[in-house]
A = this chain, B = another copy of it.
Amino acid sequence: MTKALIAKLSQFARLSSEDRDAIVGLETVHCKTARAHTPLISEGDKPIHVRLVLSGWACRHKDLANGRRQIVAFFLPGDFCDLNVYLLRSMDHTISAVTDVKYLQLSAGMLGKLTEERPRVAQALMWSELVSASIQREWLVSLGQRTAMERVGHLIVELYTRLKSVGLAADCRMAFPVTQSELAEVTGVTPVHLNRTLQELRRQKLIELESRQLTILDLDRLRDLAMFELGYLHLDREGRHLDAND
């Protein structure tokens, strides 16, 4: 169940078998479930646990007074929802399930123990937080500077890359369980315009999307169109000098 997390962290540095065991050890916690479109934790709640997504997609979103909503992050299997949130008194946003989601609710103490005993894992977790922050920045660039087509294209390439890095996508194919309304809430356009944007991507033979399954037909062209630069995901085993030897 924690396979995705191990795969993800291994993008940073090779883990020892003890490291991996320590991560698998987190599964002693009772695994929780949330149905699609229900909140895991809501704005205003006191954050106590750290969440680790095991399967399914979740998202982080903020809701405005005028009823509009912005999705500010996706959580895929292997992603933590904020490693240190428990320091805050109340959530400034909501985390909701996109699909049915399985996740672990870990206590600060449990995570503290893991990071104390396994410094390499601690480093890898810090790296994954840095990557999350980098993704947030790239999303800011999308919303500030890219057109609707570019935003959608960029998001698709990013999600494909992230899913591939945890073994959940290959050959330009991936599950894509997001509704068009949700995609609109990520990319900051209206659902109507998002629909037209998807149609244009299909018309240009860049993607295929049906029954929640997405195929990238021409990854290179899509990357170029979206001005996608891989670097911000920091997937190049940047902590390799910390590799375990066993």
Q: What residues of chain A have their CB less than 8 Å away from a CB belonging to chain B? A: 60, 62, 64-66, 68-70, 72-73, 82, 84-85, 87-90, 92-93, 123, 126-127, 129-130, 133-134, 136-141, 143-145, 185, 187-188, 227, 229, 231-232, 234, 236, 238-239
Chain B residues within 8 Å of A139, by CB: 140
Most B CB contacts (10 A, CB to CB) among A130, A185, A232 go to: A130
Contacts known (A87-B239, A130-B85, A133-B136); A92 close to B143, Cβ less than 8 A: no
A84: contacting residue among B126, B143, B227, CB under 8 A: B126
Q: Is the CB of B188 within 8 A of A143?
A: yes
In the bound complex, what is the Cα–Cα distance between A127 and B87 (angstroms)?
7
Q: Is the CB of B70 within 8 A of A141?
A: yes
In the bound complex, what is the Cα–Cα distance between A89 and B236 (angstroms)?
9
Nearest-neighbour CB distance to chain B for A76, whole angstroms, equals: 18
Chain B residues within 8 Å of A92, by CB: 134, 137-138, 231-232, 234
Chain B residues within 8 Å of A69, by CB: 145
Query: 24 pairs across A/B with beta carbons < 8 Å?
Result: A62-B137, A62-B138, A62-B140, A64-B145, A65-B227, A65-B229, A69-B145, A70-B144, A70-B145, A72-B137, A72-B140, A82-B130, A84-B126, A87-B123, A87-B239, A88-B130, A89-B238, A90-B231, A92-B138, A133-B133, A136-B136, A140-B140, A144-B185, A144-B187
Chain B residues within 8 Å of A68, by CB: 145
Chain B residues within 8 Å of A62, by CB: 137-138, 140-141
Sorted nearest first, the 8 A-B pairs with minimum C-beta distance are A144-B188, A143-B143, A89-B238, A70-B144, A92-B232, A70-B141, A72-B140, A72-B137
Contacts known (A66-B227, A137-B60); A84 close to B129, Cβ less than 8 A: yes
